[in-house]
Chain A
Amino acid sequence: MNDMELVSLWSALEPSARRRARIETRVFDWIEAGETSIAGEWLALLKVEPLTALACVSFGAVSFVLLTPVGWLTSLAIGVTRFGG
C-alpha cells in the first residue's frame, strides 16, 4: 500500500456530517460567547424575547431593592443573636 492509498484510506476517519455540525456549533458558540459583552447579551435577548427580557430586568431590579435590606436585617439579627446577647 503506497502513501496515496493510505492518505485516501485515512479519509474514512473523517467525522460524519452530523458530528462535524455539532463540533462547529460548539466551537463557534464558545467563541461568540467569549466575544459578546454582557450588555450585548442583554440587547440580543431584548431583540429576540422583549417580554422575557423586561421580566428578567424587572425581577432583578425588584430583587435587588428588596433582598438587599432583607439581607442586612437578617445578618444583623444573626449577629445580635450570636454575639449581642
Chain B
Amino acid sequence: MIAIAVLPAAVVFPRASLVASCFKALSALFGDDAELLDEAAVLQLVERARAGDRAARQRLYRQHVGRVFRTVRGMLRSNAEAEDVTQDAMLAALTSLDRYSPRSGTRFAAWLTAIAINTTRRRFRRWRPELTATGELPEVPAADGDPGDDVDRARQRSALLRALAELEPREREIVSLRYGAELNAAEIAAQLELEPANVRKILERVRARLGERIVALMQPGVSA
C-alpha cells in the first residue's frame, strides 16, 4: 500500500499529456476552439458578440464550453446533468453579455464560471432529498462513460470522479474551480466568499489527499 502511495504520478499517467494533446486535436475537429485566447482577445470577442457578431459569439462559446463542462462535471452526478447545466449556463451567459463588466477586474472565464456554479447550486437545491446525509454524490462515476473513450482516459475519468465523490461538497467546489475552471485562489475566494489564504490552505490539503487517492485508484487491479 505504501509502495502504491509513493509511486510518482508520471508512472501512473505515462500517457496523460499525449492523450490530452490528441484530445485537443480531435476536439478542434469537432467544434472545440483548441487555440486558447488571452484575456484581451476574449474581451474583443465579447465586444463583437455584444454588437451582434454571430461568429464572435460562437468563438466565445467554443473557447469556454469545455471549461464549464469539466468544472461542473466534478460537482454533479452524471454527464447528462453536466450537459444540462453547461447548456443552461452558456445560454444564460451568451444572452446576458451586457452584464459582464471587465472594469470590475473579473476575468470573463471567472464571470462565466460563477454563472455555472450558480446553475449547479440551483440544481443541487432541487435534488437535495436525493443527496446522502454526508453530502457525497451517490453516483457510480464509471456508469456513464462515453463509449468513444480510450481505456486510459476512461480510467482517469473514473478515478478522478471517484476521488471527487469522497470529498466534502465545499472541497469539491474548490478543486473543481481550481483545476477544472483554472481559476486562481483569489478568484475562487471571491466566488465562494472565502479568504484567499483559506482557499490556498484548503487547496493544499485537498490536493495531497486527492492525488494519493487517484494514484491508488489508478493502480492495476483496482476496479474503476
Contacts and interface: CB of A to CB of B under 8 A. Distances in A.
B108 to A, nearest CB: 17
Contacts of B175: 6
A36 interface: no
A1 B211 contact: yes
A24 B20 contact: no
Given A23-B87, A27-B91, A6 B58 contact: no
Interface stretch (A8-16, A39-47, A48-56, A75-83): A8-16
A72 interface: no
Given A11-B23, A13-B157, A24 B146 contact: no
Contacts of B111: none
Q: How large is the interface on B (under 10, 10 to 19, 20 to 34, 35 or more residues)?
A: 35 or more
A43 B160 CA distance: 50
A32 B20 CA distance: 33
A23 B65 contact: yes
A7 B95 CA distance: 29
Contacts of B32: 20
Interface stretch (B38-46, B68-76, B132-140): B68-76
B166 interface: no
B30 A21 contact: yes
Q: Is the interface of B mostly helix, strand, loop or mixed?
A: helix
B214 interface: yes
Nearest to A20: B31
A29 to B, nearest CB: 10
Contacts of A12: 19, 153, 156-157, 160
Contacts of B149: 16
Contact of A14 (B29, B69, B211): B69
B215 interface: yes
A27 B160 contact: no
Contacts of A24: 31, 61-62, 65
A5 B161 CA distance: 15
Interface string B125-149: 0000000000000000000001011
Interface of B: 9, 13, 16-17, 19-20, 23, 26-27, 29-32, 57-58, 61-62, 65-66, 69-70, 73-74, 79, 82-83, 86-87, 90-91, 94-95, 146, 148-149, 153, 156-157, 160-161, 175, 178-180, 182, 207, 210-211, 214-215
Q: Closest 8 CB pairs between A and B?
A: A1-B211, A17-B30, A13-B70, A16-B146, A12-B156, A12-B157, A13-B73, A10-B179
Interface of A: 1-3, 5-24, 26-28, 30-31, 34
Given A13-B69, A19-B146, A23-B65, 9 more contacts: A6-B179, A10-B70, A12-B157, A12-B160, A14-B70, A21-B31, A27-B87, A31-B95, A34-B95
